[in-house]
Amino acid sequence: MLVHTALDRAEQVARHWVAGGCPVVIHVDRKVPRAIHDAFAARFADLPDVCFSPRHACEWGTWGIVAASQAAAEMMLARFPTVRHVYLSSGSCMPLRPVAELRRYLDARPTTDFIESATTADVPWTVGGLSEERFTLRFPFSWKRHRKLFDRYVDLQRKVGFRRRIPPGIVPHMGSQWWCLTRRTLSAILQDPDRKVYDRYFRKVWIPDESYFQTLSRLYAQSIESRSLTLSKFDFQGKPHIFYDDHLQLLRRSDCFVARKIWPQADLLYKTFLGDDAAAMKGTEPNPGKIDRIFAKAVERRTRGRPGLYMQSRFPRDNWENGVTSSPYSVFEGFTELFEDFEPWLARITGARVHGHLFAPHQVEFEGRQSTFNGALSDNALLRDYNGRAFLTNLIWNTRGERQCFQFGPGDSQFISWDIARDANAQISVISGAWAIPLFQSNRNFADLRTEAAMLQKIESEHLSALRSPWAKGRIRIWTLAEFVESPMEALQQVLDEVGIQEQRRLSEVPRMVDLTGFGQFLQNLKNQGMHPYLMGDFPVDPAPDNAQKPARKPYLVR
């Protein structure tokens, strides 16, 4: 048992092992002051089956831990000749199942070595990007205390192509440092005639406690079961996850023999698992699946996070969002202008939440024109425009699980133009030039119309260039008004297929298109005034109206 802090807990656990019939050799880190060590050792005076091995300084990632394990293992094998399996554990490990169960389990597998051991090519758990290089570079500098020197020296060796020679006959393996080896395998490793060679080599390997026994046991073991009997999970920085009182049920159901690390103040865990009434678990094989999932999820959350979430501890730089927004949504541009009852129709047919122009200049047009919306978003346009991107991402985040649709156009605040363009969740359908329809229908002075048309066209054209840029990632369809009017059903069908229609496969009900009679002439008039409306495409121009009333001609028949 390797011990360096929380000595009270270590004593408790050691006594538990002894009570279960297992002799214990304790190694106390040399960094623990002598007086504390001696007082600690004296507490075991009543237990002849506990002894203390020569002390080494154990710094993380260095040889000291291996040296400590070797010394303790040698003492164990020498002092207790009846021992068949040796279990390497630490002061923060805790047996979850009665010791007798572990003994029975090992009795049934007398020649099996339990040690996680995989070749470097096959393991994903490397910290600092070092896997194979652990075995081929030198590491004279402490990773914890002199990180910069450590990194620089690694880089230098890479640059000059330095490679250490791996001693012949061994293939580097890695795995959890917590093993349970048979006397046969362990003594073969410790008494190997070449041990000096191996020790000298591993002394300079990076994190040798994860590779020394893991590699050498491959030379001698009769049957290796490549897994650790100790449940020990690591986070993304290579630090072990810690167990607390609220993990009690999880640990109980894991059926694992030993778990680490336990928080020293997890009183309930210590009371439950080390108490006299510790209940035997039913399962025979350890089953840490659920714990694995929880910790894997924690690592995932720390490294990838929840897509589309912006908050106090997740504020990704541009293009590192892993999704600008959290879920798919649809943007319609020009549809409400072309169809009279587009919003209610779209809501009916898709079942989605259909808003008006969310970015309208004076007020946010939430569905039903509510004054607040999910997440207590306000309909105040100033608040919205203060951070347009946050407004959009908040809206989509707040309504997770429900598809949002909204209208957009050149009359709106354009802050989010680029954000929606580069958002893979955005489905953007544009009928370009449709903004001219309300102008056409209005009864305003033509000079004003002409100015406004020019402005809207300029804004929409900038927006379209964002949508057409190589950075655009949304699902984007752009029709000119002329194209759309030519075959509106086909275009609508395409759009709706992507939104997901609730009921019918083919459109049975269509929205009503506004009357465009005279629209071609309206465009012609703009042209005649020197403005060039081009975004609506080649719109058919109706014949120029005559000012004079034509006399009604009598139809005639051709015989």
Partner 1 sequence: MVADRTGQIGRNDILLFCTLRNEDVRLPYFLQYYRQLGVNHFLVVDNDSTDGGREYLAQQPDVSVWTTAHSYQKSRFGVDWLNWLQSRYGHDHWTLVVDPDEFFVYPFCDTRPIRALTDWLDASSIRSFGAMLLDMYPKGRIEETRYARAQDPLEIASWFDAGNYAITRNARFLNLWIQGGPRARAFFADKPKQAPALNKIPLVRWDRKYAYVSSTHMLLPRGLNLVYDEWGGEKASGVLLHTKFLNTLTLKAQEELERRQHYADSKEYKAYAAGLAGNTNLWCKWSEKYINWRQLEILGLMSKGNWA
Site residues (CB under 8 A) for partner 1?
Answer: 235-237, 239, 241-242, 244-246, 263, 265, 294-295, 297-299, 301-306, 309-317, 320-322, 371-378, 380, 382-383, 386-387, 390-391, 394, 397-398
- Report, in Å, the least distance between residue 66 CB and partner 1: 22
- Report, in Å, the least distance between residue 354 CB and partner 1: 18
- Report, in Å, the least distance between residue 395 CB and partner 1: 8
CA distances, 24 to each of 80, 82, 95, 371 (Å): 10, 13, 14, 70
- Report, in Å, the least distance between residue 217 CB and partner 1: 29
Q: How far apart are CA 95 and CA 76, in angstroms?
A: 19
Question: Which residues face 181 on adjacent strands?
Answer: 86
- If you ran DSSP here, which 8-state letter would residue 177 be given? S
- Report, in Å, the least distance between residue 322 CB and partner 1: 4
Counted residue by residue, the chain has a size of 559
- Report, in Å, the least distance between residue 380 CB and partner 1: 4
Which alpha helices (H) appear in 171-238, and where do they start and end?
183-190, 195-202, 212-220
5 or 487: whose CB is closer to partner 1?
5
Give, for 231, the enclosing helix (H) or strand (E). strand 230-232
195 or 302: whose CB is closer to partner 1?
302
- Report, in Å, the least distance between residue 177 CB and partner 1: 17
Burial tier of 153 (Cβ tally within 10 Å: 0-12, 13-18, 19+) = middle
200 or 304: whose CB is closer to partner 1?
304
Sign of torsion over alpha carbons 232, 236, 242, 244: negative
Phi and psi based region of residue 453 (left: phi greater than 0; alpha: psi -120 to 50; beta: remaining): alpha
21 or 375: whose CB is closer to partner 1?
375
Which residues does 132 contact at the CB level (< 8 Å), separation at least 6?
Answer: 120, 121, 172
10 or 349: whose CB is closer to partner 1?
10
- 26 φ/ψ angles, rounded to the nearest 5 degrees: -110, 135
Q: How far apart are CA 408 and CA 12, in angstroms?
A: 67
25: tokens are 């050799």
248 or 478: whose CB is closer to partner 1?
248
153 or 234: whose CB is closer to partner 1?
234
CB atoms within 10 A of CB 106: 18
> Helix or strand or coil: residue 162?
coil
- If you ran DSSP here, which 8-state letter would residue 427 be given? E
Question: Which residues face 505 on adjacent strands?
Answer: none
CB atoms within 10 A of CB 17: 21
At position 162, the amino acid (one-letter code) is: F
Sign of torsion over alpha carbons 339, 342, 345, 350: positive
376 or 557: whose CB is closer to partner 1?
376
Give, for 333, the enclosing helix (H) or strand (E). strand 329-333
- Report, in Å, the least distance between residue 289 CB and partner 1: 15
59 or 245: whose CB is closer to partner 1?
245
- Report, in Å, the least distance between residue 246 CB and partner 1: 4
302 or 512: whose CB is closer to partner 1?
302
- Report, in Å, the least distance between residue 123 CB and partner 1: 20
